[in-house]
Structure 1
Amino acid sequence: MTLLPAPRPVVEPATVPAASLRGTPPASTPTALVELLRTAGAAPTVIEATGTWLMARESEHSRTAYAKDASWWLSWCAATGTDPAAARAIHADQYGAALREAKLAKSTRGRRLAVASSWYAYLVRAEVAERNPFAGMDRPSADVDSSPTRGLTAEQLGALLAHARAHESPRTYALLAVLATTAGRIGSILAVTVGAMGQDQGHRVLDLVVKGNKTKRVVLVPLAVEALETYLGTRGEVAPDAYLFATSNGRPMDEPAALRTLRRVANAAGIPHADQLSPHSLRHSYATALLDKGVPLADVQDALGHADPRTTRRYDRARGALHRSPSYRLAESLTQAMNTTG
């Protein structure tokens, strides 16, 4: 198969700008990934197989996520002059090194490598590729004992929402309120439609499509309900199948835009580490706030939708490690000594 012109000399990963592996994905939808392949000169059999590989995913959200992650590999190949059709294990390892040089999280690096491997594995199975250069590759494993996500205290979360309510658009406030009070993943929140809102046993609820193409029903607390009703009131008549957090052209708000919005609002609200936050920070903060209030770990696990309690324990360990740090006790002794000396 031929995806790109004859390969040029491979550029060392360190010479590839880190920005080329961060930010907005080269392809943000399955259609865009197929178009990227077509533009690169991929054979029709490869394009057909790629489309089938994507359609085998359980949900639209999964198909989109796979397309985004696969596009980074094609982008790296184009930047380094590597022909994906002729890629060998050394190229896969160089790509892995480039992801590390870009300072991406272990979980992100592992996911992108796994998706690239899945794509090649299917092309081999479909008999349109000879090898999977990612087969047998050592991939970074996430630390099960800690979470790299930067969280917010309850006070900081309150300041974020207060600023958004007073100074931001109804859509921005509604988005942040829903993220902060449902612990929904950003992909699920942005993919939800207006018709997913409803009532159940007297509760206002929102049905989110989560991993495995399953539906998880989450409670909308009064704060979020008020924010959503105000926001929807600015949109007039809205069809049930319209995206809840839509842009002016009716398309769903994308994740990079949500990230930029969160950081901008956090900065305006005076949160010191605003530039290190992500939408997942609100999910993280939801967990730690509940654990601080003594909510049982099992209940927090259910709220977050974790299949494995060890995943929830990461939040608990991170919270406890900071709150119980002996550095605070040492600082008290040092402060007393300094005051006495002074």
Structure 2
Amino acid sequence: MDNRIENSAVGRDVFQAGREKGGTVKPKAVPPIVWDALVEYLAGRTAGPLFVTRTDARLREPEVWKLLRRLARRAALPQAGSIHPHVLRADGITDALDAGDKLEDVQDTADHRDPRTTQRYNRRRNRLERHPGHGLAARLADRLAADGIELVDADNDQGALPGQLAVPMP
């Protein structure tokens, strides 16, 4: 929250501000909707703290927590009383991975050196409905069907067990 407008390189697609771990500065992608909101928020300001309160004081961490909780209450989120900024980071990582973004891309965006750190943020990992076995079974069924071998339907009247192979007799 210590970023100042005059120390930030702002461009339509990139925003560069602050120090990462190790003292380096890393540019961040700025989607157009975020860019437009940032330009509107800055309202022509070219110097001073990047994020400010209503009185133009630098926005500090306690104010960010209060603002986030106020917005969560307004949105009627069940966790409104306990939400904190780090939750947004975890949600962003989880949603990106759930949408199919590559782990290494999400890891890079989160500035994690180790992919295991990124995976610790993933709240949907180990969900059985996303287990690779489902995709494997579907691909196997397609290959078997292409070879003329069909999986017997569990609802058939042949008395077969679910998933039992029906091999056509010549």
**TM > 0.5 between the two?**
yes
Question: Relative contact order (alpha carbons < 8 A, sep ≥ 6): 1 or 2 greater?
Answer: 1
For residues 107-146 of structure 1, what are the structure 2 equivalents within 5 Å?
Answer: none
Cross-structure match for 1:193: 4
Superposition deviation, residue 211 in structure 1:
1.8
* Whole-angstrom CA distance in 2 between matches of 1:247 and 1:259: 13
Structure in which a larger fraction of residues adopt helix: 1
1:229 paired with 2:33, answer no
List alignment gaps of at least 5 residues for structure 1: 1-189, 326-342
Residue identity matched to 2:113: A
* Whole-angstrom CA distance in 2 between matches of 1:266 and 1:280: 14
**Percent same amino acid among aligned pairs?**
34
1:276-330 residue CA offsets vs partner (Å, 9 max, x unmatched): 21111111111001100111111111000011222112123x3124x438xxxxx
List alignment gaps of at least 5 residues for structure 2: 130-170
CA pair 258-222 structure 1, distance change in 2 beyond 3 A: same
* Larger radius of gyration between Structure 1 and Structure 2: 2
Please say if residues 52 and 59 of structure 2, whose CA atoms lie closer than 8 Å, have aligned partners that are also in contact.
yes
Partner residue of 2:94 out of 268, 273, 288: 288
Partner residue of 1:262 out of 68, 71, 83: 68
Q: Which SS does the other structure have where 1:213 is aligned?
A: coil
1:324 paired with 2:115, answer no
Q: Which SS does the other structure have where 1:295 is aligned?
A: coil
**RMSD across aligned positions (CA):** 2.0
Cross-structure match for 1:213: 23
Question: TM-score, normalized by length of structure 1?
Answer: 0.35
Superposition deviation, residue 244 in structure 1:
0.7
* Whole-angstrom CA distance in 1 between matches of 2:57 and 2:128: 45
1:226-246 residue CA offsets vs partner (Å, 9 max, x unmatched): 11111111xx5x344x11102
Moved over 3 A (4+): 247-251
Q: Which SS does the other structure have where 2:53 is aligned?
A: coil
Cross-structure match for 1:310: 116
* Whole-angstrom CA distance in 2 between matches of 1:263 and 1:305: 26
Cross-structure match for 1:154: none
Residue identity matched to 1:311: T
Question: TM-score, normalized by length of structure 2?
Answer: 0.67
Superposition deviation, residue 197 in structure 1:
3.8
Residue identity matched to 1:271: L
CA pair 288-225 structure 1, distance change in 2 beyond 3 A: same
Residue identity matched to 2:88: L
Residue identity matched to 2:5: V
Please say if residues 69 and 83 of structure 2, whose CA atoms lie closer than 8 Å, have aligned partners that are also in contact.
yes
